[in-house]
Amino acid sequence: MPAPLTACLAFDTATEHLSIALLLGDRVWSHEAAGGALASSTLIPGVMDLLAQAGIGLRDLDAIAFGRGPGAFTGLRTACSVAQGLALGADKPVLPIDTLLAVAEDARSMSCAGVLDEVWVAMDARMDEIYAAHAVFEAGAWRLATAPWLCTPQQLNEFWRVRAPHAVAGTALAAFGDRLACGDALQLPQALPRARAMLPLAAALWAQGGAVDAAQALPLYLRDKVAQTMAERSAAKALAATVAPAVSP
C-alpha cells in the first residue's frame, strides 16, 4: 500500500463552475470561480496562485487529481489537457476522479453531520438531458451503484418509480424543476463537483493504487459528439428508453 496522500492538487471544469483545491498535510487551499468558456484561460493561473499561497511547486506534489467527467465537452478537454501537461512537466501521476462522485461527496458535506450514505446525482447535461448516477457511501468510501448514465428526465423518473431516491443532488434539480419526480427525497441542488470534495476521493483512489501515468488523463464522455441532428437525438432517446443503467452488485 502506498504512503498516504499528503500533497495533492485537484481541479474540475466539467460544469459552468471552476473549482481548484490544494492539499498539503492537514491544510487545504481552494479557489472557486466561473468556469465554462473561461476555464481554459483561468485554470492554470488559479493553480499557480494556490501553489504560491502554499509555498510549494508542482514537483512537491504526490499526484494531480482531475475531474474526468461526465460533463461539458470543452470543460473535460480542458481538465484532461491541463492535468496531462502539469503532470508530465512535474513527472507526477494523475488521479482521474468521477465527476458525479465529487458531486456526491459535496452533497455529503452539506448534509446534516455528513451522514448522507446514498444519493442520486443528477447534473444538467443540456439538450434536455441529464447525467445521472446512484452513489453509495459504505466502508468509508463512495462507489457508483449505477454507472454514469445520459438520460432524459422522463427516463430517470421511470427508473425512480421502481427505486425511489432517498436524496438527489446536482444542477438538474434547478434546471428541470417539477419535471423530476423526486418525491420526498432530500434535495441538494447546490451540490457541485467541487475540488475540495475531490480530495477525499483522490486519497481513497491513491490508497487503492489508482494513480496512473499522465498519458492516461482521459475524459469520460457519454456523448459521442457535441451536436446532434433532431433525427439523431430522437433515435438515441428511443434506444435509451429500452436500456436500463448498469447496476453493480
pLDDT tens sequence across 218-241: 999 998 644 444 454 554 455 445
Q: Does domain 100-188 correspond to CATH entry 3.30.420.40? A: yes
pLDDT tens sequence across 171-201: 999 999 999 999 999 999 999 999 999 999 9
Whether 73 shows a pLDDT value over 60: the answer reads yes
Domain boundaries, the chain: 7-98+193-216, 100-188
pLDDT at 56: 98
Q: Which of these ranges, 33-37, 67-71, 152-156, 175-179, has the smallest mean pLDDT?
A: 33-37
User: Is the whole-model pTM more than 0.85?
Assistant: yes
Q: Which fold has domain 7-98+193-216?
A: Nucleotidyltransferase; domain 5 (3.30.420)
Smallest Cα–Cα separation from 64: which of 20, 16, 108, 14? Answer: 20
**E strands within the chain?**
7-12, 17-24, 27-34, 63-69, 94-98, 118-124, 130-138, 141-144, 149-151, 167-169, 186-188
pLDDT at 236: 45
